[in-house]
Amino acid sequence: MILPQRDKEPDLAFAGIAILILFGFLIWHDNPIKSSRPADSTTLQSSDLNIKDHAYESWLWEDPFGKKFQYKSEESSDNSLDQNCTLLRKKIRNSQKKNEDKPVEIFAALLNTTPNTTENKESRTRHRYAKIAALIEAGYSPSEEPNPMHYCRIGTPDDHDKKYNVGWEHFIFMPRPNKEPDSDEKDEKSDVILVWLDNNLFNDKNLKQKNDGNKFLASLINESEKSTNTKNNLYLFDWNYTILDWDYRFKEYNPREKNINIPRDVKNSKTSSTTPANYPIKIVQPLRSTSKHSKELIQKLTDELITYRRISALSEIAIIVEQDTQYVRELSKKFESTLSENLATEYPKNNPPSNTIKRFSYYKGLDAHQQSLEKEEENFKPKRWNEDGYLSSVDLRNPSFGPAQFDYLQRIAAQINNNHKTIDIEKRVGGIKAVVIFGSDYYDKLLILQALRSEMTNILILTTDLDARMLHPQYFRWTRNLIVASPFGLQLPQNKQSSFSAFRDSQQTEIFYNVKQLIEKSSIAGPPPVLFEIGRNNYVHLPQSSDETERIKEILPQEMFSQNQNKQQFWLLSGITLALIILPYGFRPNSFRLCSYIAASAGVIFYIYYQAIEKNEEPLSFTEGISLWPAVFIQIIAIALALYFYYSAYFKSESMLKRNFEYLQSKFNLNNNEEQTTDTEQYFFIPFTVAALILSIMFYASNDFKPDGNFNFLTCVIFLVVLIVLYIAIEYKFFKPNLIAITHWNDKAECYLNNPKTPKTPKLIESEQIWNEYNRLGQWRPYLIRITLMWLVFALIETILFYLVPSWPQSVRGNSAFDLDWFVGITSFIVIMLLTFVVLDTYRLNYYFIRKLRIQHPLIVEDIYLTRVAESDTCNKTQKELAEMKYASLTAPHKKLEEIITLVAGRTRVVDGLIYYPLICIILMLLARISYFDNQDFPYSKAISFGVSISLLIFAGFMIRSEAEKLKFSVTRSAESLKMKFKHQAADIDTTIEKISNIKSGVFQPMLEQPVMRALLLILAFIGILAGEFLKIFG
C-alpha cells in the first residue's frame, strides 16, 4: 500500500529568512561604531606655568617643547635663562658622584620644532612617550614628583629668538620591592638623563648653531668631577634624519671619520681616549635608514607580490612615490630594481626589457593642510579638525586649482582603473593588479587609499610603516586589507613590554625597544622587517617561508603567532560539530544516511581548515575581514546542499517527486496503458551527452583558471560552438520523433493528430495519456539531455562575459590557497547552475503539462480552444469531432474536471517548493562573497548569471501560476456548460464547481503563500541589503 504524502513539506522559506538575518547582522557588524572624537584633536595648553629653578611641571605624555613662554633676562629670576645648560651639567656630576662615578646614561633626541604644526607636535609627543615608557618598564622613575621639565638654551639668543632649545629630565632606578631572589636584576643602575634637542641646533643652514650643538654634546660626555676617564654614555636619537652622513644604524663618534663634523676642542682634548673607537657617543636612527634593513624590507615586499600574490609581470605593478623625502625616493628605486630582477628571473617571457613598472609621484602634504599651533592673538582658539574638509579625496567636485592635490589623486586612480578595464583576449585580466605606496606621512597615504579604493575597491595595496590610525573605525573602509611592511609592530612580547599597551606607530615601538635594550646592555641588532595585514579589529602578521621565526618572536607578541591558537580552535569546533551531527542521529529515525552525508561534508571543511592552519599562507580568521577561508567554507556548504537537493528531489529511490507521482497515480487511477518503447536512439545518445557535459565543463573551467593556457578564449569558444551545433542537429534528427525535448511535446499538443505515429482513427485523449507522456519526459535521461544543451549555451555566454567584464584577482594569499579557492568557487558555481537548470526544466515540464491539459483534454478543449480556430484548419476540425464524442462514455464528467484540478494542485504542491533549492544555494554564494570576510571581488559575469537565473526561476514560477489559473477558469467554464447537457446533475455540478473554486493548495494557493512569491520577497530583500552594503547606505 502506498502511503499518502505528508500534508506539507518543510518550508525552506524560513531557511532563506535565517540566511537573510545572518547577512544583515554581518553587514551591521562590518561597520564598527565610530567615535565622535576627532582623530587629531588639539587642545589649548594653559600658559600659567609654575616655573621654579628653570623648570615647569610636565605630564609624562606632554610635548617637551609644548610650553611656550618668554623667559626673563634677570639671572636671579625663576623664569630666567639657563644659558649653556649649567643645571644639566650639575645634575650629571651629582649623578656620577651618587653612583660612585658610574657613567650616566644620556638619551638625547633631535626633534622638529619648526614649523610648529600638529604633525610635528604629535611626533614629539610620541617620541617622549615611548622613551619614558621604556624607562618605566626597565624600573626607572622620575627623580622628582611632580615630574619637572627643565629648560635651557645653547648659544647666544638674539632679541627675536627667546625660546629655549633644550629640555631635559632626570630618572633614577627604583628596585622592585617584590623582586625574586634568583632574579638577575641589579639593585643599582646608572641614572638616566633624557635630553630633548631642537634639531635646528644641527641644521647645516646655521653653522654657528651646529657647532654649538656639537660642543654641547661633547661636553656632556666628559662631564666628570673626579675621574677624567669616566665618560658618560650618550645616545643621540636622530629620528628625523637631521644627520644625513650616517648610512647605518649605530656608528661610533670617531674623529678619524671624515664625514663627521667633530668639534675642534673635542679632537684636541687632552682627556680624549686614546682609542677613538671606544668614544661613548652613538647615533641611533631608525632601522629603515640602514641599507641592510631596507634591502630586507624590499625583499619582503617583492616576495609577497611574486610568491604569494602571483604577480608575474612588471606591468601589473604601480608605485606611488612621495618626492619630498630622500629615504622614500631611494627606497622606491631599490624596490623597483629588486622587483625587476626577481621577475626577470622567475618569468622571463612576461618581462621583456620594454616592460616597466608604472610610476606615479606626488608631493608631501596632499591636502595642503598644516595646522599651526602658534598663537597669533590673545583669544586664539585652535579649530577642531574637520574630517569632511580634511579627507575629501573622493569628492568628484574637487577643482583643478588651489594647493590641494586631490584632483591629481583622482586622475592617478582613474588611470590605474582604466588599465584594468581594457579587454585582453590573451590574459582576460590585464592592467595593474597591485599598487605600492612609498611615503612618509600617514595622512597622505590615507588620501591615496581613499582615491584608490573609491575607484577600485578590491585592488591590492601595499605600503610601509605600521600606524595605529590604520585601525581607526573612521578609516576602516579604506585601510582594511592594506599590506604593511614594517620593522616593528605596535607592541613587543610580554617579557619586553608588560606595563604598557600597544603604541601608536611602529616607530614608537622601535624607540621603546632601543631604549630598553640600551638600558639593559643587551644586543640591539636590528630584527628583520615583518608584514602585516590590516583587519577589522587588529593587524595580522603575514608569515613568509623565508622568515627568521626566532628573531621575529623577539619583537612580536605571542598573539601574532596564531597557529597554536587556531589549532585549539580547530579541535573545539570539530568536537562541537561532531556532537551536533550525532544529536539528530540519536533522535531521528532512519537518519543514518543523512547524518553520514553531513559528517562527510563537515569532514571536507575541517580538512581544509586544518590544511589552512598548517600551510599558514592565507590568514585564517572569521571576524577580522582579511581571510577568504570563511567564504570557501560557505561555498562548500552550498555545494553539499546542492548535491543533497539533487539526491532528495530527483535521484533518491523514494525521492520527493517520485513519491508524490506514485501517490497521485494511485489516487486517480492513472495507469500507464501505452506500450513501452526501447528508445534506442535515446540510450545511444546518453554517452555522447555525458561526454559533451564533461568536456564542456573541462574547457570552461580550464579557461577560467588559466586564460592564457592551452584552453584559451578562442579554443574554448570554438569548441563550445561546435558542441552546440552538433547537439542541435542530433536533437532535430532523433529527439523530435521520440519526444525528448519539451518544445517537441508542446508542438504535439498544438495538433495531437498531426503526429505521424498517431493512429488515424479518432481517439479521446484522456488524462492518462498526458500523465504518461509527462512521466516519460520527467525521467533522468531526458532530463540529462535537455539540461546538457542548456549548460552548453550558458557556458558559451559565461565564457564571453568573462572577457567583457573581467573581474579583479582574488585577494587570496599563496598558491595552494589560490588553487583551492578557485576549485571550490568554480565547482560551486557549476553545481548550482546545473541545479538551477534542473529546477527550471522541471518548471517548464509542469507548465506544459498544465497547458496540455487545458488545450488538449477533451472535457476542456471545446470551450477554450476549438471555438477560436478557423474552420479550414484540418487538425482543429478533427479535434472538434473529438469534442463532440467526449461525453459518450462519461456519466459524471464534472467529477473528471475536479480530478484535473486536484491532480494539478497535488503535483505543483511539491514542484513549487523546488524554487527554494537553487535560491538558497545562490544566496549562500552571494553571502560567501560579501566584504565582511575579505575585501574580495564578486565577478560581474557570475553576478549576471545568478541574476538571470533568479529572474528565470521567478518568471517560471509565475508562469505556472498563470497557466494554472487559466486551467481553473477553463475547467469552471466547462463545468458550467455541463449543466445544459446534464440538467439532472445540476446540483452536483454546482457542488463540484464550489469544490474547484475552494482548492487552495499547490499552485492555487493565495499569492502571498506561493513559494515563488516568498522566494521573490526573500531575494529582493537580500539584494536590497547587498546593494545597501555596496552603496554604503549603512555607513
Q: List pLDDT tens digits, range 358-371.
A: 999 999 888 876 65
Distance CA 877, CA 883 (A): 10
Distance CA 691, CA 730 (A): 15
pLDDT tens, position by position, 135-168:
999 889 998 888 889 988 887 666 455 677 889 9
Strands 105-111 and 140-142: unpaired
Contacts of 733 (CB under 8 A, 6+ apart): none
pLDDT band at 476; cut points 50, 70, 90: confident
The residue written with cell numbers 557570475 in the block is 942
Number of CB atoms found within 10 A of residue 28's CB:
13
**CA distance from start to end of the chain:** 61
pLDDT band at 779; cut points 50, 70, 90: confident
Q: What percent of the chain has pLDDT over 90?
A: 15
Distance CA 858, CA 855 (A): 9
Residue 226, phi then psi, degrees to nearest 5 = -95, -55
pLDDT tens, position by position, 67-108:
776 555 555 455 566 778 888 888 888 887 777 767 888 999
**Mean pLDDT for the chain overall:** 77
Q: Report DSSP state, residue 378.
A: T
Residue 846: pLDDT over 60: yes
Q: Are 949 and 918 in contact (CB under 8 A)?
A: yes
User: Average of pLDDT values for 904-915?
Assistant: 88
pLDDT tens, position by position, 694-734:
998 998 888 888 877 777 888 888 888 988 888 888 766 66
pLDDT at res. 603: 92
Cα angle vertex 871, ends 867, 873, to 5°?
105
Output the pTM of the full model: 0.82
pLDDT at res. 945: 86
Measured between alpha carbons, how far is residue 469 from residues 465, 504, 1009 in Å?
11, 7, 51
pLDDT at res. 637: 93
Number of CB atoms found within 10 A of residue 531's CB:
23
Contacts of 747 (CB under 8 A, 6+ apart): 736
- The closest of 554, 525, 529 to 543, measured between CA atoms, is 529
Residue 320: pLDDT over 90: yes
Distance CA 947, CA 140 (A): 66
